[in-house]
Structure 1
Amino acid sequence: MPELQMPEGVHVHSAQSPEAIGEMLAEQVAEHLRLRLSEAALATLVVSGGSTPLPFFRALRGKTLEWGRVLIALADERWVPETDAASNAALVKKELLQAEAAQARLVLFHYSDKDASEAMPELEAAATELTDPVDVLVLGMGNDGHTASLFPDAPELNQAMDRHGHQQVMVMTPPSQANQRVTLTLPVLMRARFKMLHLKGQDKISTLARAAEAPADWSAMPIRAFLQAGLHIYWSP
């Protein structure tokens, strides 16, 4: 793995393959969920979509957990029906909610019969089902430095990144993206008890290195807001 200069307290873990890092990440997530379930009635896991988490999902679904007491939500979702190949919810159902893990409850952030902006009451109600704080958060990152649906070109970015804001969910309309997006806001994501960033490929290392050069400038690369002590980064080629 290339040398990375991360802020103090940011931990970087690497492995030789996506499957190996997926297993490592899954074991850590399962361990944190088990610990929380020993103390509380429910535990919440927030995950991200895309192709990178597939080995992680496949490893996690085989872990021994009281899955019936786990709530799973997505950090963000495209405003498309589950029949669309771009649906993150469909991906999670297919790849994670299988076997024993099918007992977990998925909190959805999409209502196909409405425009996203019209569905805000339902979206906020769904967000209140999650434990506060979220117990485990697994983020991804794009090569533009976005994470969740906190895109640099989204006109709603400042509001979604307001650390003192009260909205838990926001509709995002970045011109760079084909669909409207729904995202958990920065305050919700930052309050998570355990935060992880799951990456794959040399291009993501280059993006992360650029982000670390100016960690305060989150408007250009929103992932910078998360490069703080306590973050665990999991990377494979």
Structure 2
Amino acid sequence: MYQINEFPQKSDLDQALANQVAELLTQAVKSKGKASIAVSGGSTPKGFFNALSKMDLPWSDITITLADERWVDFDSEASNTRLVHENLLQNKAVAAKFFHLKQGDELTQETLADLNIAAKSMLLPLDVLILGMGEDGHTASLFPCSDQIDEGLAKCTSPLLRVMPKSAPHERISFSFIYLKQSKNTFLHISGAGKKAVLNKALADSDLREMPIRAFLQDPDVNTQVFWAE
């Protein structure tokens, strides 16, 4: 299931999304004493990150993580962890906790197992999930081209998996669909005419392996709020 929310400008979208996410995180902290949010990388969320970072929230009770991450060093331009630290973990949000997906030099089976245990105890289920979407319909690092796509979309799998996309660089770690779908609030944050066309294509068919974003848009148990601006 999905609902499309359109905005005339990116700045309007960024503030509206920040306001809604802030309210959801505050409610989660009030009800259970803590909250968790997974965000996505790329250039699209920078304005949203900045707006959210300036809001008065119980940041010390909020844990931020990523829906996926490239297995690269922190100082790499490709690091989503760096992106979050430079754009979201700023201002008032500097008090938030951050759960690192990229830990250590190599993504070994032992590292993955340890991360899965930690994610289950510290993060899951997520209170808020902010997804992005690629031109090929991938989301998080659930790539249609990868040999791991069936595992990523499977009903019985671990929270985190190693992904080697064939159409994009870098080894990656990604949350699986079955655990991402358990998020209490799911948003798809996109902008531009090109992404609107990709969205329309995703809504026109039902092959999840072809465009994994369809899993979130068409699952009857997920209410994906699409936030789009030109």
1:1-237 matches, within 5 Å, as: 9-117=1-109, 119-163=111-155, 165-214=156-205, 216-228=206-218, 230-237=223-230
1:105 is displaced (CA, Å) by 0.6
Supply the AA of the counterpart residue of 1:131. Answer: L
Supply the AA of the counterpart residue of 1:205. Answer: K
Q: Report the identity percentage.
A: 36
1:111 is displaced (CA, Å) by 2.2
What are the Cα deviations for residues 197-231 of structure 1, in whole angstroms up to 9, with x where unaligned?
000110000001001111x3100000000014521
What are the Cα deviations for residues 21-41 of structure 1, in whole angstroms up to 9, with x where unaligned?
011100010011111111011
Structure 2 distance, partners of 1:36, 1:108, is: 21
Aligned 8 A contact 2:53 2:90 in 1: yes
Instruction: State the TM-score, normalized to the length of structure 2.
Output: 0.95
Relative to structure 1, the CA distance from residue 227 to residue 86 in structure 2 (aligned partners, 3 Å threshold; closer, same or farther) is: same
Structure 1 distance, partners of 2:138, 2:103, is: 24
Q: What SS does the corresponding residue of 2:145 show, helix, strand or coil?
A: coil
Q: What SS does the corresponding residue of 1:159 show, helix, strand or coil?
A: helix
Structure 1 distance, partners of 2:108, 2:138, is: 20
Structure 2 distance, partners of 1:132, 1:110, is: 17
Aligned 8 A contact 2:151 2:157 in 1: no
Which runs of no fewer than 5 residues in structure 2 stay unpaired?
none
Structure 1 distance, partners of 2:35, 2:16, is: 20
1:119 is displaced (CA, Å) by 2.3
Alignment RMSD: 1.3
Aligned 8 A contact 1:107 1:126 in 2: no
Aligned 8 A contact 2:37 2:65 in 1: yes
Structure 2 distance, partners of 1:207, 1:30, is: 28
Instruction: State the TM-score, normalized to the length of structure 1.
Output: 0.92
What are the Cα deviations for residues 171-204 of structure 1, in whole angstroms up to 9, with x where unaligned?
0001111100100011111000000000011000
Supply the AA of the counterpart residue of 1:28. Answer: Q
